[in-house]
A and B are shown apart, each in its own frame.
Chain A
Amino acid sequence: MSYALTEEQELIQQSAREFTQEYIEPIATEIDNTSAYPRAVIRQMAEHDFLGLYLPEVFGGTEAGYLSYVLMIEEISKVSGAVASILINHASLAAYSINCFGTAEQKQAYLPDLCSGEKLGAFALTEPGAAPGAGTHKVVATKVGDNYILTGHKCYIANGGVADVYVVFALTNPEAGAKGMSAFIVDASTAGLTVSRTIGKMGLRGCPSAELVFENVIVPEANLLGAEGAGMKMAQVAQLVASVAEGAQVVGIAQAAMDDAVKYGKQRIQFGRPIATFPAIQTMLAEMATNIYMARLAVYDVASLIEKGEPFAKEAAMVKLFTGRIGQSALIDVIQIEGGYGYSQEMVASRYYRDIKGAVISSSSAEFPEKVIASDLLA
C-alpha cells in the first residue's frame, strides 16, 4: 500500500526497515527471553535519529512529522514490540508532553537530550489501586516555598528504572480529585526517587515496567509542566497521541504475525496439500489481511491529522478501539493456523501474541476510547 507517502516518508520507512532488520531482529528473541533492556540498540537508534524523529529541529529533532514517526514505529514493531514500546513511551508520552505543554526554558533544558538519546524519557501516570490519585499510595505534590515535595508510589511505569527524565503526575490538590492533578518534569537522579522493583510481564519484555517510590522528592517550581491542575487533561492528550503510535505498533506486530502464518500455511502439509489451500485457513488470512489494511490506513490518517495540527481526539480513540480489536483477533487466528508450532514458546508467533496484548492495553488507563468517541459524537 502507498497511502500517498512522500519520498521522504518512504525513505524513512525504508531506513527504519533496514535498521530493524540489521540491528533489532537478530536480538529480538533474546530481548524477550531475558527481559533485559536493550541499551545498545537504543543507543544505535539514537545515532540514527530515531529518538527525536518528529520533534522540532531547533531542539535537535528531525522534524519529519508524526506520520514518519508512526511508519518507523510500525517497522520496529514488526521485529520487536518491546523496542517499539520503549520508543513510544520516550517520544509520544514523555517528550511529547514536554514539547507540547512545556515552557521555552523547559523545552530547551530537556528536549535536546531527549532528541539526541542522551537521555531517555518515561511517563509516570499509573498508581497502585485504580486510576491515578485514587489509590492509597497516591502521589501528592505539596507546595513548599519555591518547590513541590512529591510523596507516594507509581506502578507499571514503562521505561521505569532506565529513564533519565520522568513526566510525573501528582495531586497538587487532593480534594479536587482528577482536577487537582498536575504534571512535573523530574530527573531520575533526584534525591528520594527510587525504583522499588521491576515487574515481570507477559509480553513487551525488555521495556521495563517499574514501581517508583517518591519519598519527599523536591521538585523546583520551574519543573511544573503546564498549569497547576491541568495534569489530567495533558495526560489524556498525550495518551491519545501515543495511542496512534500504539496503533502502528499493533499493525506492525499483526503484519509480521500474518506474514509468518502465510509462510507456515504454504509449508505445512496436511492431507497431502499445504494447509493454506484450505478454505478455513484462507478465510482467517483474508479477514486478518483486510483488518490490518484498514487499521493501517486509519493509523496513517490520524497521524497525518496530528502532524497537521488538526483535531484528532475522536479519531485517535477510534484507532485505539479498532486496532485493539483486530490486533488481538489476528493473533488468535495466527496461533490457530500455526497450531502447536505457533503455540510453542520457541517460535515468534507466541511472542507476537503476548506483545500485541501489551500494545493494546498500553495508554488506556486515562479514558476508555469508547467514551472519547461518544463524547465527541454527542457534544
Chain B
Amino acid sequence: MPKILVCYKWVLDEQDIKINPGDLSLDTSRAKYKISDYDKNAIEAATQLVEAHEGSVDALTFGNDKVKQSLKDVLSRGPGKVQWIGDPAFEQADAFVTANVLAAAIRNNESYDLIICGEGSADSYSQQVAPRLATILGIPAVTFVQELSIDGSRIIATRKLGDCTEVVEVQGSAVISVLPEINKPRIPSLKQVMAASKKPSQELKIADLQLSTEDLQAKTVNLSVKGYVMNRKNILFKETNQADNVAKLVASLAQEGVC
C-alpha cells in the first residue's frame, strides 16, 4: 500500500489578473488564488493510485500567508491530510528556497514511497522544484511523466520527451513530476467539499525546520513583472492587382523576420 505525498502551490488565478494599460504592471488586487493547474494533475494522479492500490495521500504546500486558504480545496480533491507552511516573508521564494523548505518538511515526517509534483507552477513555471527536491532528499527524480503506475515496490513511469516517449522503472522512493496529459483532474463532489472540513491539517513553522539562513535566501530575485501586450500593425495593402498585394505581404512578413 503506497504512502504518497503530493506537493502543490497556491497561486494567483491568472484569469483575474488585469494589466494596467499605462505601465503594463499587473493588477492583482481582485485576483483570487487557486491550486496551480499541473498540481491538480499531481493530486489526481496520487488519488488514483491510492484508489487502485489503497494506501494514503498526504499533501504539502509552502507559500505566503494566503496558503491557509488552500487547505479545504486540496482536501476535497482526495488527500487525507495536509501540512502547510505559510509565511509572508516568503512571498518571493524561488525554486531553491521552495525545494529546501519542502525537503525539510518531508524529513520532518515519516518517509514516503512516492512524492508527486506538477511539472511546473502556473505562475513562475521554473520546472525546478521536483528535481531539486529529489536531489536534496537523495532519491531519483522522474520528470515529464504522462503515465504512472505502481507494481509492488516498483514505480513505472512513461516520460514524454521531445519526439519520443521513455518508460522508466524506479525501485524505492522517488520524486515524480507530471504533465497535464496524465489525467483529467476530478471536480470534487459537493459532499467531498463538505467532508474536507473534517480532515486534518497541520501548520509547520519555518523556524522548526532546522534550515540555515542560506537555505532560505532566494538565489533568484524577481525585479519586475509586466504584462505583454500584442498590438496590431494596422498595415493595409490596397493594390488593385492581388498579386501585388501578396508580394507586399510577403515582403512585409520577411521584413518582420516571419518568413
Taking Cβ atoms with an 8 Å cutoff, the residues of A that contact B are 7-8, 11-12, 14-15, 18-19, 22, 47-50, 53, 62-64, 68, 72
Contact = CB atoms under 8 A, between A and B. Distances in A.
5 contacts: A12-B190, A18-B187, A48-B189, A49-B189, A62-B190
Contacts, number: 42
A62 B187 CA distance: 16
A15 B191 contact: no
Contacts of A47: 189
A343 B15 CA distance: 29
B190 A64 contact: yes
List of 8 A-B pairs having minimum Cβ-Cβ separation, nearest first: A49-B190, A48-B189, A18-B187, A11-B193, A49-B189, A49-B191, A62-B190, A19-B187
A185 B126 CA distance: 60
Contacts of A64: 190, 193-194
A53 B190 contact: yes
B188 A15 contact: yes
A358 B76 CA distance: 35
A12 B190 CA distance: 6
Contacts of A63: 194
Contacts of B76: 11, 15
B190 A48 contact: yes
A349 B190 CA distance: 30
Nearest to A1: B30
A19 B196 CA distance: 18
Sorting the interface of chain B by its residue count into under 10, 10 to 19, 20 to 34 or 35 or more gives 10 to 19
A22 B72 CA distance: 22
A72 B197 CA distance: 19
Nearest to B184: A22
B69 interface: yes
Nearest to A53: B190
Contacts of B190: 12, 15, 48-50, 53, 62, 64, 68, 72
Main SS at interface, chain B: helix
A49 B76 CA distance: 13
A22 B188 CA distance: 13
A298 B69 CA distance: 26
A53 B72 CA distance: 18
Interface of B: 69, 72-73, 76, 187-191, 193-194, 196-197
Nearest to A47: B189
A170 B73 CA distance: 46
Contacts of A72: 190
Given A7-B72, A11-B72, A50-B190, 19 more contacts: A7-B69, A11-B196, A12-B190, A15-B187, A15-B188, A15-B189, A15-B190, A15-B193, A22-B187, A47-B189, A48-B187, A48-B190, A49-B189, A49-B190, A49-B191, A62-B194, A63-B194, A64-B194, A72-B190
Contacts of A22: 187
A63 B193 CA distance: 12
A54 B76 CA distance: 18
Contacts of B194: 8, 62-64
A53 B194 CA distance: 10
A64 B76 CA distance: 14
A319 to B, nearest CB: 23
Contacts of A8: 72, 193-194, 197
A48 B191 CA distance: 8
Nearest to A69: B190
Contacts of A11: 72-73, 76, 188, 193, 196
B12 to A, nearest CB: 15
B200 to A, nearest CB: 16
Nearest to B76: A11
A12 B193 contact: yes
Contacts of B191: 49, 62
B220 to A, nearest CB: 31
A50 B259 CA distance: 53
Contacts of A14: 73
B124 to A, nearest CB: 23
A15 B187 CA distance: 6
A63 B76 CA distance: 16
Contacts of A50: 190
A47 to B, nearest CB: 7
Contacts of B196: 11
A204 B224 CA distance: 49
Most buried by A among B72, B188, B197: B188
Contacts of A19: 187
Most chain A CB within 10 A, of B69, B73, B189, B194, is at B194
A12 B73 CA distance: 10
Among B69, B72, B190, B196, find the residue whose CB has the most chain A CB atoms closer than 10 A. B190
B241 to A, nearest CB: 28
B80 to A, nearest CB: 17
A53 B196 CA distance: 16
